[in-house]
């Protein structure tokens, strides 16, 4: 029996063709990673495990949010530990690190309240991309420099389809 949290990988066709044997593998692992031909892999877990995972994420979110709002010193602690959790924040200007911390806590609380963490994932990706820009002086200059020209109105991308 597997003792780590790594998902067992199987082809989706195994679930379809040998469903009992494939589902029995959930005893080895908390999750099955189902590979599909279209590239959109799926993760299968039990309802109990999914609920447990959500309970843990919700608890961690509530603790983090409560700590961040409790006392002024807790914000400094959060700012201190962010580089350990997200090493790329070292490339952000100090004011942006603070903005990221506030936005992260607020978004985590809001996402937890609706039971959907997609906005948290998007926030992390966006801030990481911002840090990537700051890490490259040439790219930062190209994106923040004055180009001297106004290129006119931007077309709505939905109109170009």
pTM, entire model: 0.72
| Residues facing 35 on adjacent strands | 11
Q: How confident is the model at residue 161 (pLDDT cuts 50, 70, 90)?
A: low
List, for residues 57-97, the tens digit of each pLDDT value.
899 988 888 887 777 788 888 889 999 999 999 999 999 99
Q: Is the pLDDT of residue 128 over 90?
A: yes
User: What integer is the mean pLDDT of 104-109?
Assistant: 92
Q: What is the mean pLDDT of the chain?
A: 87
What pLDDT does 91 receive?
Answer: 97
Q: What is the percent of the chain with per-residue pLDDT over 70, rounded to a whole number?
A: 96
pLDDT at 5 over 70: no
Q: Which of 13-27, 51-65, 130-144 reaches the highest mean pLDDT?
A: 130-144
Q: Which 3 state secondary structure label does DSSP give 9?
A: strand
Long-range contacts of the stretch 103-111 (C-beta < 8 A, 24+): 103/127, 105/64, 105/65, 105/68, 105/69, 105/78, 108/61, 108/64, 108/65, 109/61, 109/62, 109/65, 111/61
Q: What is the mean pLDDT of residues 135-153?
A: 87
Quote the strand ranges of 12-51, DSSP E: 32-35, 42-44
């Amino acid at each position: 029996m597997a003792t780590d949290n790594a998902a067992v990988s199987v082809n989706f066709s195994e679930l379809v063709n040998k469903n009992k044997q494939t589902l029995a593998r959930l005893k080895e692992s908390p999750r099955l990673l189902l590979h599909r031909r279209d590239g959109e892999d799926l993760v299968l877990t039990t309802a109990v495990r999914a609920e447990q995972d959500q309970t843990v994420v919700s608890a961690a979110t509530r603790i983090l949010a409560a700590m961040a709002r409790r006392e002024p010193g807790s914000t400094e602690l959060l700012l201190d530990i962010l580089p350990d959790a997200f090493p790329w924040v070292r490339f952000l200007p100090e004011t942006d690190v603070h903005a990221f911390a506030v936005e992260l806590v607020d978004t985590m609380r809001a996402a937890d309240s609706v039971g959907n963490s997609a906005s948290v994932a998007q926030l992390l990706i966006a801030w990481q991309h911002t840090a990537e820009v700051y890490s490259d002086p040439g790219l930062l200059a190209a994106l923040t420099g004055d180009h001297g020209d106004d290129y006119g109105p931007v077309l709505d991308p939905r109109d170009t389809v």
